[in-house]
Amino acid sequence: MGNLPPKEFMPKHIGIIMDGNGRWAKERGLERTKGHIEGAKVFRTISDYCHEIGIEVVTFYAFSTENWKRPASEITALMKLFKEYLLEADEIKFDRQNRGYVLRFLGDTKAIPKELSKLCDSTQLDIKDPDTTIVNIALNYGGRQEIVHSVKEIAEKVKNGELKPSDITEDTISNGLYTAGMPDPDLIIRPSGELRLSNFLTWQSAYSELWFSDVLWPDFTTEDLDKAIMDYAKRNRRFGAV
């Protein structure tokens, strides 16, 4: 374990935009898919490490609602990687000594290949004890799509007379998001040099601290995560107050 702040200065929820796989591969004269394979290894390392250092929730952006614009061959390769990981996760899901975390999926997982969406359902576990880290995988996720999803549920309730429009609050919307019941991300990390959120946790990131790095995701290490957390711990979060 590296150099980390005391527990009260640690973020509870970290969001990570796993970006730069394609450029990593290109720099080495490899196909983009090879970058995704390396990126998937880093995902495993970083999710294990988040549990080791006691992070409550970590959300990885794996595939956005906009990523369907990519070539079919790249999408197929990504889906294959997700499947491999989920099959592995399915096997170890009850072995909590082995990996003390539970998986959750954020996004429209009904609109991905059937086999994958079934695996998403079977690998999601409802265990929650204080030592368990929640590892969210944002898969076919879009922040705007998520808000639309919540608003549709609310509209149904209003239509059925279960809810009055005047009773709608921020919590009503939050409770309809895929992250319902989880704290908002304290810290959002984006490697690869891009300075944007690309539709990640749009509602939840209202007061998140952002941390950017030029490192490409396949080169991202636990030391980089330590650096981001140390930087976060020094920030003054005011939430609009003085």
Contacts with Mg ion by CB under 5 A lie at 19
Choosing among Mg ion, ligand IPE, none, which partner's interface includes residue 85 (Cβ < 5 to 8 Å by kind)?
none
118 interface partner picked from Mg ion, ligand IPE, none, CB below 5 to 8 A per type: none
Q: CA–CA distance from 172 to each of 19, 202, 242 (Å)?
A: 32, 16, 28
Quick one: 27 or 90, whose CB is closer to ligand IPE?
A: 27
List the structure tokens of 99: 């990996």
Given the rule CB under 6 A, which residues bind ligand IPE? 17-23, 61-64, 67, 78, 192, 194, 196, 198
- Kindly state the DSSP code that residue 124 receives in the 8-state scheme: B
Which residue of this chain has its Cβ atom nearest to Mg ion in the complex? Answer: 19
Nearest distance from C-beta of residue 184 to ligand IPE, angstroms:
19
Contact 209, 237 (CB under 8 A): yes
Residue type, 101: Y
Backbone CA torsion sign across 17, 209, 178, 4: positive
Cβ atoms < 10 Å from Cβ of 189? 26
Please say which residue, 93 or 143, places its beta carbon nearer to ligand IPE: 143
| Coil/strand/helix, residue 57 | strand
CB of 19 to ligand IPE, least distance (A): 5
Token pair recorded at residue 213: 């790095």
Residues taking part in catalysis: 19, 67
Q: Which does 67 bind (CB under 5 to 8 A by kind): Mg ion, ligand IPE, none?
A: ligand IPE
Q: Which is nearer to ligand IPE, 61 or 178 (CB)?
A: 61
225 binds, among Mg ion, ligand IPE, none (CB under 5 to 8 A by kind): none
At 94, is the secondary structure helix, strand, or coil?
A: coil
